[in-house]
Amino acid sequence: MDFKSSVELLELCRQTQCPISEVMRRRECELGETTRDQVDHRMAKVLEIMRASAALPLKKPSKSMGGLIGGESKKLYDHAARGKAICGDILQRAMTYAMGVAEVNASMGLIVAAPTAGSAGIVPGLLLALQDCYKISDDRLVDALFNAGAVGYLAMRNATVAGAVGGCQAEVGVAAAMAASATVELMGGTPEQCMDAGSTVLMNLLGLVCDPVGGLVEYPCQNRNAAGVANALIAAELSLSGVKQLIPFDEMLETMYAVGRRIPIELRETALGGCAATPSACARCGGCG
């Protein structure tokens, strides 16, 4: 059940008449020489950690280690509770959860890197929001996480998920592609539609730089987790509606990697350019010496 590209993955889906999540689950069982119950148990633990990290800041906001963020998720939650939200229930919840996970990460709490710590809020943010709004079971969310894992694996194998290598398009971009693909399967889409959604996300975020203020994974990282769930939701909706993607996922992933390698070093997690080099950011973090 191993695959090295989305083309091979989709062929396995066609041969077995299985969704992406099931192909990925079987791959984990075969290559890890373990059982279905064991891999499902581990993924259920992942879901448990994701849910805890998304919920914690709503009850107990905390300041980040660098002091740049803290309490933003609770502000979004309270804003919605007052009936002031304008994004709609799913996106509002997804943003709130995503920013909450980013807050937990920045305050040294326990999160699941999906695929990185800096983009860890996107996959749980969207999936947990969908669960809230559609009363989706945990078992189905576990399936969705296997789907997301397949997309993350392809990005790790054939490109990068590191901001230092490919910019934030590689972190937030891949996380959003994972979330979009998982969402499409969760909402009844085909494997082909899943890959179309992933490709759309990478296209939408192509060229996004990595410019953490003070070199800390706090700001603008947290805001970009919120932007990532929005992009994932858009891409999933487009795909589920039948909008086709001209550029296949493998080609879009290769393009993202090529663009990332051409991004100047100042804009690849070095905190030497972009948001990190603005006067306000430098003043907030004590200068850019």
* All structural domains of the chain: 6-274 (1.10.4100)
What pLDDT does 285 receive?
Answer: 82
> Would you say 200 and 179 are in contact if contact means Cβ atoms under 8 Å apart?
no
- Measured CA distances, 49 to 119, 121, 160, 268 (Å): 15, 12, 24, 29
Rounded Cα distance, 199 and 58, in Å = 33
pLDDT for 33-69, tens place per residue?
999 999 999 999 999 999 999 999 999 999 999 999 9
Helix (H, G, I), strand (E, B) or coil at 272: coil
Residue 286, pLDDT above cutoff 80: no
Residue 18, pLDDT above cutoff 80: yes
> Would you say 136 and 186 are in contact if contact means Cβ atoms under 8 Å apart?
yes
The amino acid present at 147, given as its one-letter code, is N
**Facing residues of 210 across strands?**
268
Residue 240, pLDDT above cutoff 80: yes
**pTM (predicted TM-score):** 0.97
What pLDDT does 287 receive?
Answer: 57
Percent of the chain at pLDDT > 70 equals 99
Mean pLDDT (the chain) is: 97
In the chain, what's the furthest Cα-to-Cα distance?
A: 58
